[in-house]
Amino acid sequence: MTLTYENTSRMVKTRKFNLHINEAGDADAPAVVMLHGSGPGATGWSNFNQNIGPLSEHYRVVLADMPGWGESDPVTWQEREHSTTLRDLLDELDIDKASIIGNSMGGGTTIRFGYEHPERVHKLITMGASVGQPGMFGPGGLSEGIKILQQGYREPSFDTMKRLVDVMTFDSTFATDELIRGRAEMVASNPEHNKNFIDGIGKRAIVELDLAKLPTITAPTLLFHGRDDRVVHFENSLRTVQLIPNARLLLINRCGHWLQIEHAEEFNREVLSFLA
C-alpha cells in the first residue's frame, strides 16, 4: 500500500492536547517517533514523507505534529512544552520506549527528552539541531534562514514560502511548487498557529536546553548536519557531539537544513543501520 497523508493520519487526545499524527508500520514493532522542525506550515508529514515508508517496513513509525503546528491544537508561547507533550503522546499510544528522531526544533526536543526521560528512550537521532547558544563560527544574531522563517509567519504568501523552502535546501530543485503549496495551505488553514508564534518571538526559546545535562544522556545518539545549512550552523552539532558521551556526527556536504529530504536515501540507510 502506498502511504499517503490521508491513510496514515489520525488524531490522538493526550492529557493536555489533541495532537495530529501520521502513523505506519506494525503496531507491535519497536517504535520510532519523528519530530518536525519549526516554520510556517511545518508538519511531520512535510518533513518526513520520504522517510516514513522505508522506516515503517521495520518499525512502528509515528510522525507527531507538536501543538501549534499542523492539525494539532493551537498553543500560546507560554504553554509550549514539547518534551512533556512527547511523553504524554507516548503514554497515550502505549509506547514505553522509543527511538526519537528530530529535525531542527524537533532535534532540540529529542535532546531534551533524552536527559529528562532517559527511561523512555532507546536511541536518539537529530538533523540540523541547535544547542541554543552563541557560536564562534556561525553568524551573530539571527541566521539567514531564521530571518526568512520569521518573515514566513508574518507574511505567509506563496513567494515567501518559496524563499523559505529554498533557504532550507542546498539544491533549489527541492523547492517544488507542491511542497510550497502544501505549506502555504497548512498556514492558511491554521491562522491561530501563526499568531501565537509571532506573539512569542523574542520572549522564550521554543525548546530550551540545559547544556550541563547533555553529558548525562546515556542513549546512543546519531547527529546529522548539512555542511551548507543556512538555518542552523553545523557548529551546533560539533558542540553537541562533544557533550553527549555516546554520540557520533555525520556531516554531509552539498546539503542544507532539510538533510532528510535532500539526501533521503542516505539518511534512511544510515538511520536503519544505526537503529539496528
Over residues 98-134, the pLDDT tens digits come to: 999 999 999 999 999 999 999 999 999 999 999 877 6
Catalytic residue numbers read 257
Whichever domain contains 122, its CATH number is: 3.40.50.1820
In the chain, the number of structural domains is 1
**Three-state SS sequence of the chain:** CCCCHHHHEEEEECCCCEEEEEEECCCCCCEEEEECCCCCCCCHHHHHCCCHHHHHCCCEEEEECCCCCCCCCCCCCCCCCHHHHHHHHHHHCCCCCEEEEEECHHHHHHHHHHHHCHHHEEEEEEECCCCCCCCCCCCCCCCHHHHHHHHHHHCCCHHHHHHHHHHCCCCHHHCCHHHHHHHHHHHHHCHHHHHHHHHHCCCCCCCCCCHHHHHHCCCCEEEEEECCCCCCCCHHHHHHHHHCCCEEEEEECCCCCCHHHHCHHHHHHHHHHHHC
pLDDT computed for residue 132 by the predictor? 76
User: By residue range, what is the domain housing residue 257?
Assistant: 5-275
**pLDDT, tens digit, for every residue of 233-264?**
999 999 999 999 999 999 999 999 999 999 99
